[in-house]
């Protein structure tokens, strides 16, 4: 899931700053070896191109130097009609044995990365794979042998033996989303704390243990405050000159949280600004600038792709503290025509890259024009 990033043409001075910063971050990686993963779930990039991978099974964040220093610009986004078939061909398996967890675009190189599992979810022989798609749409498995990397533990992630009523392990939500801003990595997920919904904040390069914040929100569809459901997707945004987290939960509260309240050992209450549909699951959220307007896109499991204007969110004064009286309620949004959109990320000034479930059932890597959103 993704950090707000405004794509401008880099002047030589800005380019130099970027490359120096990237070199400094690369030097922060103390190990040069082969990181091991049980599961590769959430992905996030720093603006300098450091890749963060969350492993829900291990409760571990790994930062990897991909050594992609060449800045790419004026490139068109890749397009792959049947993404799972292409990946299955690389891995020597069937498309039904491929599960894609997350997608992120390297803001420096414009290479696209996908976290993939090879094998059925309940099988003991599931392999975690990182896949790279280049702007020319060529695709390859990323060899992590001998890369420079560093790691950080998630404090007290939810136990593997805790399950929902349907038998699904809660450990799947130990890490749900990551976002990087101002040398800090924000990680949402579920812990073993009494208030399970947690936000962990790491200063990067990794050093001290993460700051731990527990989060409470009012769930409009359920008509009550809750602390056990983790944030599913979020991003840092500036609203009314204040740093905020805009977070979406399953079933589907949309919440703002003051970032200055996200501190170690703090318990915060988010402000619920919308209910976006009972039974719906948010998938991914991004923001982008286009023609002077800041827009926010939210993809969903049951609801269509939604577009919010940051000014509309900033001007909304309400806060939901009572059960929603309609299926959707609160801050207004526009419904987009694009169907089946799942993962989202900014590709460049003009395009948003997506994974999209097509009418024929195939999962495609495709793009949306910001001019037409």
> Domain-by-domain residue ranges, the chain?
12-372
Supply φ then ψ for residue 229, to 5 degrees. -95, 125
Banded pLDDT at 19 (limits 50, 70, 90): very low
Q: Which residues pair with 293 in a beta bridge?
A: 290
Distance between CA 102 and CA 263 in Å, rounded?
27
Supply φ then ψ for residue 27, to 5 degrees. -70, -15
Mean pLDDT (the chain, rounded):
91
Burial (CB count within 10 angstroms: exposed 0-12, middle 13-18, buried 19+), residue 306? buried
* Nearest CA among 368, 373, 318, 371 for reference residue 79: 368
State the average pLDDT over residues 1-26: 42
For residue 280, pLDDT beyond 50: yes
Question: Backbone dihedral region of 302: left (phi > 0), alpha (psi from -120 to 50 degrees) or beta?
Answer: alpha
For residue 133, pLDDT beyond 80: yes
Beta strands across the sheet bearing 334-335: 282-290, 293-300, 306-309, 334-335
Banded pLDDT at 57 (limits 50, 70, 90): very high
Q: How far is CA 151 from CA 56, 61, 105, 136, 217, in A?
A: 13, 6, 21, 32, 30
In tens, the pLDDT along 141-176 reads 999 999 999 999 999 999 999 999 888 899 999 999
Half-sphere exposure of 140 (CA within 13 A, CB side): 8
In tens, the pLDDT along 74-110 reads 789 999 999 999 999 999 999 999 999 999 999 999 9
Half-sphere exposure of 4 (CA within 13 A, CB side): 20
Distance between CA 330 and CA 220 in Å, rounded?
10
For domain 12-372, give its CATH number from 1.10.3470, 3.30.70, 2.115.10, 2.60.40: 2.115.10
State the average pLDDT over residues 335-344: 97
């Amino acid at each position: 899931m993704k950090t707000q990033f405004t794509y401008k043409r880099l002047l030589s001075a800005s380019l130099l700053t970027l490359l120096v910063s990237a070199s400094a971050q690369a030097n922060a990686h103390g190990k040069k070896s082969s990181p091991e993963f049980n599961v590769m779930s959430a992905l996030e990039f720093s603006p300098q191109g450091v890749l963060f991978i969350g492993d829900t099974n291990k409760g571990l964040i790994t930062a990897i130097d991909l050594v992609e220093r060449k800045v790419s610009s004026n490139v068109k986004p890749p397009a792959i009609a049947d993404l799972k078939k292409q990946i299955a061909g690389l891995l020597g398996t069937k498309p039904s044995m491929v599960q894609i967890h997350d997608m992120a675009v390297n803001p420096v190189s414009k290479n696209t990365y996908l976290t993939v599992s090879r094998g059925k979810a309940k099988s003991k022989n599931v392999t975690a794979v990182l896949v790279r798609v280049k702007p020319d749409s060529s695709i390859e498995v990323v060899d992590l042998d001998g890369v420079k990397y560093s790691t950080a533990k998630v404090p007290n992630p939810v136990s593997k033996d805790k399950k929902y009523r349907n038998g699904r392990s809660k450990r799947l939500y130990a890490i749900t989303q990551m976002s990087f801003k101002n040398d800090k990595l924000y990680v949402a997920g579920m812990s073993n704390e009494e208030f399970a919904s947690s936000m962990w904040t790491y200063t990067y390069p990794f050093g001290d243990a993460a700051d731990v914040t527990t989060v409470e929100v009012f769930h409009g569809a359920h008509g009550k405050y809750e602390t056990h459901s983790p944030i599913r997707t979020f991003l840092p945004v500036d609203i009314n000159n204040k740093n905020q987290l805009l977070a979406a939960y399953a079933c589907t509260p949309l919440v703002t949280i003051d970032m200055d309240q996200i501190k170690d050992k703090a318990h915060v209450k988010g402000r619920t600004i919308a209910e976006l549909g009972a039974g719906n699951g948010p998938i991914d959220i991004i923001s982008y600038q286009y023609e002077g307007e800041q827009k926010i896109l939210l993809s969903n499991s049951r609801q269509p792709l939604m577009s919010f204007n940051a000014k509309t969110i900033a001007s909304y004064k309400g806060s939901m503290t009572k059960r929603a009286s309609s299926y959707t309620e609160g801050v207004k949004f526009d419904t987009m025509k694009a169907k089946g959109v799942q993962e989202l990320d900014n590709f460049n000034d003009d395009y948003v890259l997506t994974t999209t479930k097509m009418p024929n059932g195939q999962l495609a890597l495709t793009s949306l024009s910001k001019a037409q959103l």
